[in-house]
Amino acid sequence: MTATHSDYRLSQLDQLEAESIHIFREVAAEFEKPVLMFSGGKDSIVMMRLAEKAFFPAKIPFPVLQVDTGYDFPEVLACRDNWVNRLGVRLVVASVEEAIANGIVVDDGKTSRNRLQIGTLLHALEEGGFTAAFGGGRRDEEKARAKERVYSHRDEFGQWDPKMQRPELWSLYNGRIHEGEHMRIFPISNWTELDIWDYIGREGIEIPSIYFSHQRRVFERDGMLLTESEFNPTRPGEEASERTVRFRTVGDLTLTGCVESTASTIDEIIAEVAVARVTERGATRGDDRFSEAAMEDRKKEGYF
């Protein structure tokens, strides 16, 4: 960060940062009980960094909520703990396993953990009485997200109605909600995947090690490379082998594919992303591939 700008120009990354910080402060000022949804992925880590900056030298004035699918990468959980400890924020964990045990969601053996997260998350938001939940969604991720507002209104059932969204003008955000409703807040709406990496590189912040190239036993399924794991037994014909890989997104390990890569530094990742020919979700997220409108459907139900 340059301290002086003789020509009063702000780089696009600084402009994005300023916009996001503005959103964090606006929410902290206007909502009774905000919470930051932390997945451990790079986007939510950038959110943590922005929240840290927004309130410094005070602590982040809201807790962090993580939905534990039970199938999370241990490297991701370790990184989460480092962040939470360093910033001294309260961590709320909503466990899919517990939600299944308590009958909040039903594991029929066919529904992915990612989908079961929806019910678990909505329950945790309601239970905690949270009125605003920060999410790391970006508009460049997917077509259904391109029209998402920064403040995205959810009804008493946590649902998103694309036709009932409020117009959002200038930097004037409307945070009015009724009892039982909540607002999803997307402070990094205008960031692209490349911006996220540029920022992580510039800030020198910790992200889960699985984003970097490493050796891993993987097998191929539906054109994706999945991690060998007790949660994800190989099917006939699938054979695991050790490869040099890294992850482009972080989620339920039974569904999140990795790509073969030797990129072991942020700069190498940036170089790789800059020439990538397939979207991060298209490449490595089983949950988005089921239908062209998959994301739109999950969003309506109350997904992140």
Partner 1 sequence: MSTTSSANTNQGIGMDLLRFATAGSVDDGKSTLIGRLLLDSKAIFEDQLEAVEATSQSKGHDYTDLSLLTDGLRSEREQGITIDVAYRYFATPNRKFIIADTPGHVQYTRNMVTGASTADLGLVLVDARQGLTEQSRRHAVLLSLLRVPHLVLAVNKMDLVDFSQEVYDRIHAEFTQFATKLNIPDLEVIPISALQGDNVVERSENMAWYSGPTLMHHLEHVHVASDRDLVDVRFPVQYVVRPKSDEHHDYRGYAGQVAGGVLKPGDEVVVLPSGMTSRIAGIDLFDKEISEAFPPMSVTIRLEDDVDVSRGDMIARVNNAPKPSQDIDAMVCWMTTTPLHPRQKLAIKHTTRSARVLVKDIQYRLDVNTLHRDQDTKELGLNEIGRVQLRTTMPLLCDPYSQNRTTGSFILIDEATGVTVGAGMINSGS
Cα R_g (the chain), whole angstroms: 19
Residue numbers 251-270 binding partner 1 by CB under 8 A: 265-267, 270
With contacts defined by CB under 8 A, name the span among 31-39, 106-114, 200-208, 229-237 that binds partner 1: 200-208
User: Which residues have C-beta within 8 Å of that of residue 223, sequence separation ≥ 6?
Assistant: none
Three-state SS at 67: strand
Least gap, CB of 304 to partner 1 (angstroms): 17
* 68 touches 91 (CB < 8 A): no
Using CB under 8 A, which of 41, 116, 283, 285 touches partner 1? Answer: 283
Using CB under 8 A, which of 1, 32, 215, 236 touches partner 1? Answer: 1
Q: Determine, following the binding rule CB under 8 A, whether residue 207 of this chain makes contact with partner 1.
A: yes
With contacts defined by CB under 8 A, name the span among 63-71, 124-132, 137-145, 238-246 that binds partner 1: 137-145
Least gap, CB of 264 to partner 1 (angstroms): 10
Q: Determine, following the binding rule CB under 8 A, whether residue 95 of this chain makes contact with partner 1.
A: no
Three-state SS at 295: helix
**Which is closer to partner 1, CB of 69 or CB of 213?**
213
Q: Determine, following the binding rule CB under 8 A, whether residue 209 of this chain makes contact with partner 1.
A: yes
With contacts defined by CB under 8 A, name the span among 26-34, 105-113, 127-135, 229-237 that binds partner 1: 26-34
* d(C-alpha 35, C-alpha 135), whole Å: 9
**Which is closer to partner 1, CB of 53 or CB of 221?**
53
* Biggest distance spanned by C-alpha atoms of the chain: 65
Residue whose C-alpha is closest to residue 42's, from 264, 245, 194 = 194
Q: Determine, following the binding rule CB under 8 A, whether residue 110 of this chain makes contact with partner 1.
A: no
Residue numbers 154-193 binding partner 1 by CB under 8 A: 162-163, 165-172, 174, 176-178, 189-190, 192
**Which is closer to partner 1, CB of 33 or CB of 53?**
53
Residue numbers 30-69 binding partner 1 by CB under 8 A: 52-59
Residue whose C-alpha is closest to residue 259's, from 271, 248, 272 = 248
Q: At what angle do helices 42-55 and 193-203 cross, to 10 degrees?
A: 60
Scanning the chain, the segments in alpha helix (DSSP H) are 12-30, 42-55, 74-87, 96-101, 113-128, 193-203, 266-275, 280-284, 294-301
